[in-house]
């Protein structure tokens, strides 16, 4: 029996936060050393942060990253640490990992497969390293091995897959297995998406099984750069299964996981594997003097998969949504150095969801680090020493009425704010609306009427609500939160400079049909450990409405547009699957037999017309969170021209087929 303790740490880093990132890395190394860890895996690009965008191309930035790496070297006495950074070699920049062993840089391994799909743009900044190539990098007069390397650290053989390397068909693990590695380290920056954690677990387990090796995976944590949320995730697996795993969606700086593995058992598993000899070409072995820390056999623990209780229930998607957006908001407010959130609370589903998510962020963080810890983390006065105090200090809700606002939404907004513990205000903006209407009526020389000026009269009410809450947010040094959802973004069913106003749009990545289901779940069940929010009953009982036309009009969102489940299905077909109108309609006829084909054709045409007409709105939306593997954010996922032909020929084909 030859035991060794290995581990990984998920870190909450910030792009270009040189000192903060370094200090969190140092703290992770010191904690691992105290735990008796000999080999530690840290996340991808954790020195610089993953979300540095085009700054990765800056020579000065690359030099600073190397400088921080040199500052970290003395902190690695008695331990081997994998730490990620960008490295310039010859004419390119590479997404790389430095292995620092006992105070000395042993070598640099470069990523072989770059993520270029979805929200990823790695090929814009980095080059992929050719499999099997090894070279020498000279920096500050010091020569360092670089490339497709494996390391022999005091008899422990270590290899690497870097994030995307493990997601591709020809993953480097096959070559590592042929070279007989004992431990594979995977530094990752894998953003959250629904159900993605199970995929990560599978490739970690398969990598360990197929290679006869221990596999350590360490992901980023938190809202790193504004849009992508990293749920963390640290796994240690053996060929026989998962040995240890860390919790996700933590609010602190780090989540560390360690496990004891038996090298003798791993090597026995390796002898039973068959490999193609060609996989072992370009051996790339780097020998490093190192003495792993001794391990007491009694220290080995029974394997566990690290799942929290909420991950074992029947509401995993609802829990993931809650915890992902809560963590995203929590990190956004502290990293932007803002002092809370302001929500224009309409008493409807969207603004109520946003207010709940802010309150849940505070409550979930308090459950993890204590109310005093949350106060310190957010810079809130020590007098806020209870969950209710903290929520009130962070969240302000404002109901802004016009002549078309009803008593139901007013009461619902107030009751929910009180239930959450938020500060609540009512602004009457009807006089402002009347003032603008009078000014424009005089300018055009006629009174404005609903028959002739419907959209303009609706929009001025939404826009009149923006200046007051912006002013309140400015006075507080707080973030104004936009309440627009993904379904509205798809068809432009939002007033620019009205309900789209804000510095962050936390639900712009989630569709309205799901959001309504989530609110019912939150009313009746709620997150594990926190419970339901019964005050949502008044919101959930209403049909969603902009409440911008006179009450007698009976305005509803679905009446203006179409049923939300149909809208969301068309969006997936048109935007994710790239179907043209006719093909999308043909699918709808099968999926929605309860609706007449001609009606489905009309809704399909409405979607494509509104989608193409309103790209300019999506370009102006506040930053949103990525919650799915597909979304409508034109800056990072869904590119579409602002000016286009508007599917004119395609829609004519649809109309002819539907007649």
The DSSP code sequence of 298-362 is: GG---------GGGGSS-HHHHHHHHHHHHHHHHHHHHTT---EEEE--SSHHHHHHHHHHHHHH
* Average pLDDT, integer, range 138-161: 95
DSSP one-letter code for 572: I
Q: Between β-strands 142-147 and 104-110, what pairing exists: parallel, antiparallel or unpaired?
A: parallel
The predicted structure's pLDDT at residue 280: 52
Q: Residue for token digits 């509401």?
A: 315
| Spatial contact of 69 and 85, defined as CB atoms under 8 Å apart | yes
CA 528 to chain centre: 21
Over residues 546-557, mean pLDDT? 80
Report residue 478: phi and psi, to 5°. -110, 170
Based on the fold, state whether residues 44 and 158 are members of the same structural domain.
Answer: yes
Structural domain contains residue 602: yes
Q: Which of 147, 141, 145, 46 is nearest to 101 (CA)?
A: 145
Residues 370 and 259 in one domain: no
543 and 604 in a single domain? The answer is: no
Distance between CA atoms of residues 633 and 625, nearest Å: 9
- Residues 578, 472 share a domain: no
492-507 confidence digits (pLDDT tens): 999 999 989 999 999 9
Residue 303 belongs to a domain: no
Residues 113 and 133 in one domain: yes
Closest CA to 16 of 43, 59, 47: 47
CATH code for the domain in which residue 511 is found: 3.40.50.620
Find the mean pLDDT for residues 167-179.
91
pLDDT tens per residue, range 408-419: 999 999 999 999
Task: Round to whole Å and give the CA distance between 214 and 204.
Answer: 9
Shared-domain flag, residues 165 and 59: yes
pLDDT at 274: 67
Which position has the higher pLDDT, 276 or 104?
Answer: 104
Average pLDDT over residues 82-110: 97
Beta bridge partners of 101: 80, 104
Q: How much of the chain is in helix, strand and coil states, percent to nearest 5?
A: 45, 20, 35
Query: What is the bridge-based pairing of β-strands 229-231 and 183-187?
Result: unpaired
| Whole-prediction pTM | 0.94
28 domain residue, yes or no: yes
Mean pLDDT of 233-253: 96
CA Rg value for the chain:
27
Q: Which helix (H) or strand (E) holds 431?
A: helix 430-444
Same domain as 488, residue 429: yes
Q: How would residue 383 be classed by pLDDT, with cut points 50, 70 and 90?
A: low
Q: Check: CB of residue 324 under 8 Å from CB of residue 625.
A: yes
Judgement on whether residues 291 and 336 belong to the same structural domain of the protein? no
pLDDT reported for residue 273? 81
* Residue that terminates a domain, selected from 261, 296, 331: 296
The pLDDT > 90 percentage for the chain reads: 87
Can you give the pLDDT at residue 381? 73
In a domain, 305, yes or no: no
- pLDDT greater than 80 at residue 303: no
In a domain, 301, yes or no: no
Give the chain's mean pLDDT. Answer: 94
- In angstroms, the first-to-last Cα distance of the chain is 76
The pLDDT assigned to 278 comes to: 54
**Is residue 382 predicted with pLDDT exceeding 60?**
no
Q: Are residues 214 and 339 in the same domain?
A: no
**Domain end residue (candidates: 540, 558, 576):** 558
The predicted pLDDT at position 478 comes to 97
406 and 502 share one domain: yes
Indicate left, alpha or beta for 242 from its phi (over 0: left) and psi (-120 to 50: alpha): beta
Residue 402's domain spans which residues? 311-558
More confident position, 83 or 273:
83
Is residue 599 predicted with pLDDT exceeding 80?
yes
Structurally, the chain folds into a number of domains equal to 3
Query: How far lies 646's CA from each of 567, 570, 581, 610, in Å?
Result: 18, 16, 11, 9
Percentage of the chain exceeding pLDDT 70: 98
- Position 430 scores a pLDDT of 96
Mean pLDDT of 613-640: 92
Nearest to 40 by CA among 99, 100, 80: 80
Once rounded to an integer, what is the mean pLDDT over residues 189-214? 96
Residues 106-129 have a mean pLDDT of: 96
| Interval 20-50: pLDDT, tens | 999 999 999 999 999 999 999 999 999 999 9
**What does the alpha-carbon distance between residue 279 and residue 299 come to, in Å, rounded to a whole number?**
36
Q: What confidence score (pLDDT) does residue 281 get? A: 53
Cα 181 to its chain centre, rounded Å, is 33
Residue 385 has pLDDT above 80, yes or no: no
Q: What is the pLDDT of residues 39-79, one digit of tens each?
A: 999 999 999 999 999 999 999 999 999 999 999 999 999 99
Q: Residue 495, SS3?
A: coil
User: Is 185 inside a domain boundary?
Assistant: yes
Alpha-carbon span 553 to 536, nearest angstrom: 25
pLDDT at 279: 54
Residues 6+ apart with CB under 8 A from 528: 308, 309, 310, 313, 319
482's tokens = 């936009």
Q: What is the pLDDT of residue 296?
A: 85
**Measured distance CA(390)–CA(558) in Å, rounded:** 37
Count the residues in the chain. Answer: 659
SS (H, E, C) 473-489: HHHHCCEEECCCCHHHH
pLDDT score recorded for residue 1: 85
The per-residue pLDDT for range 311-348, each reduced to its tens digit, is 988 899 999 999 999 999 999 999 999 999 999 999 99
Is residue 511 one of the residues assigned to a domain? yes
pLDDT value at residue 193: 96
Instruction: Assess whether 435 and 463 both reside in one domain.
Output: yes
The answer to whether residue 521 is domain-embedded is: yes
Burial, 181: exposed, middle or buried (Cβ in 10 Å; 0-12, 13-18, 19+)?
buried
Give me the residues paired with residue 401 across strands: 428
Residues 292 and 148 in one domain: yes
Burial class of residue 311, CB neighbours in 10 A (0-12, 13-18, 19+): middle
3-class secondary-structure state, position 132: coil
Backbone φ, ψ for residue 342 (5° rounding): -120, 130
In which order are the strands placed within the sheet that holds 142-147? 134-139, 142-147, 104-110, 92-101, 80-89, 39-41, 3-11, 254-262
199 SS3 class: helix
Q: What is the DSSP letter of 83?
A: E
Looking at the DSSP bridge assignments, the partners of residue 183 are 158, 214
Beta bridge partners of 160: 185
């Amino acid at each position: 029996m030859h035991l060794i303790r290995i581990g990984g740490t998920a870190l909450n880093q910030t792009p270009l936060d040189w000192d903060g990132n370094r200090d969190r890395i140092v703290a992770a190394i010191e904690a691992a050393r105290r735990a008796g860890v000999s080999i530690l895996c840290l996340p991808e690009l954790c020195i610089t942060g993953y979300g540095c965008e085009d700054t990765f191309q800056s020579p000065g930035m690359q030099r600073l990253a190397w400088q921080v790496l040199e500052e970290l070297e003395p902190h690695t006495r008695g331990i081997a640490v994998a730490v990620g950074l960008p490295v310039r070699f010859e004419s390119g920049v590479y997404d790389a990992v430095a292995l620092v062993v006992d105070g000395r840089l042993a070598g640099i391994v470069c990523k072989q497969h770059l993520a270029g799909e979805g929200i990823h743009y790695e090929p814009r900044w980095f080059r992929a390293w050719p499999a099997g190539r090894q070279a020498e990098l000279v920096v500050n007069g010091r020569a360092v091995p670089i490339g497709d390397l494996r390391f022999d650290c005091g008899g422990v053989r270590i290899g690497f897959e870097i994030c995307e390397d493990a997601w591709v068909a020809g993953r480097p693990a096959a070559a590592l297995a042929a070279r007989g590695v004992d431990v594979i380290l995977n530094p990752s920056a894998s953003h959250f998406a629904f159900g993605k954690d199970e995929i990560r677990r599978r490739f970690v387990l398969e990598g360990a099984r197929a290679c006869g090796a221990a596999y350590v995976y360490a992901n980023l944590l938190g809202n790193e750069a504004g849009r992508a949320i990293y749920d963390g995730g640290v796994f240690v697996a053996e060929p026989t299964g998962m040995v240890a795993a860390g919790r996700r969606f933590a609010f602190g700086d780090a989540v560390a996981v360690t496990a004891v593995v038996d090298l003798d058992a791993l090597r026995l598993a390796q002898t039973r594997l068959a490999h193609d000899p060609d996989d072992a070409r370009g051996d790339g072995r780097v020998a490093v003097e190192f003495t792993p820390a001794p391990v007491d056999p009694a220290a080995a623990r029974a394997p566990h998969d690290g799942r929290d209780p909420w991950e074992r229930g029947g509401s995993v998607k609802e829990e993931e949504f809650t915890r992902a957006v809560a963590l995203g908001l929590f990190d956004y407010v502290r990293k932007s150095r803002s002092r809370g959130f302001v929500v224009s609370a309409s008493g409807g589903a969207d603004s109520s969801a946003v207010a709940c998510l802010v309150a849940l962020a505070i409550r979930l963080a308090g459950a993890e680090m204590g109310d005093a810890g949350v106060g310190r983390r957010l810079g809130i006065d020590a007098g806020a020493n209870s969950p209710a105090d903290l929520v009130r200090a962070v969240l302000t809700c404002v109901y802004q009425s016009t002549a078309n606002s009803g008593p139901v939404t007013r009461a619902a907004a107030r009751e929910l704010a009180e239930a959450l513990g938020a500060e609540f205000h009512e602004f009457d903006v009807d006089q402002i609306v009347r003032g603008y209407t009078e000014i424009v009526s005089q300018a055009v020389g006629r009174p404005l009427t609903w028959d002739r000026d419907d959209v303009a009269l609706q929009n001025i009410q939404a826009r009149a609500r923006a200046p007051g809450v912006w002013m309140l947010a400015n006075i507080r040094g707080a973030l104004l939160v936009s309440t627009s959802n993904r379904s509205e973004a798809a068809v432009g069913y939002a007033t620019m400079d009205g309900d789209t106003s804000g510095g962050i749009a936390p639900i712009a990545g989630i569709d309205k049909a799901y959001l309504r289901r989530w609110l019912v779940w939150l009313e009746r069940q709620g997150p594990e450990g926190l419970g339901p929010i019964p005050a949502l009953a008044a919101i959930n009982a209403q049909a969603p409405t902009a409440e911008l036309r006179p009450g007698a009009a009976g305005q509803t969102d679905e009446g203006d547009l179409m049923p939300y489940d149909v809208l969301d299905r068309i969006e997936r077909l048109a935007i994710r699957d790239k179907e043209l109108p006719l093909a999308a309609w043909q699918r709808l006829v099968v999926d929605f037999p309860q609706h007449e084909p001609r009606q489905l054709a009309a809704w399909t045409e409405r979607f494509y017309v509104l989608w193409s007409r309103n790209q300019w709105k999506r370009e102006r939306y506040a930053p949103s969170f990525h919650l799915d593997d597909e979304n409508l954010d034109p800056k990072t996922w869904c590119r579409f021209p602002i000016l286009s032909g508007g599917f004119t020929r395609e829609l004519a084909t649809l109309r002819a087929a539907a007649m």
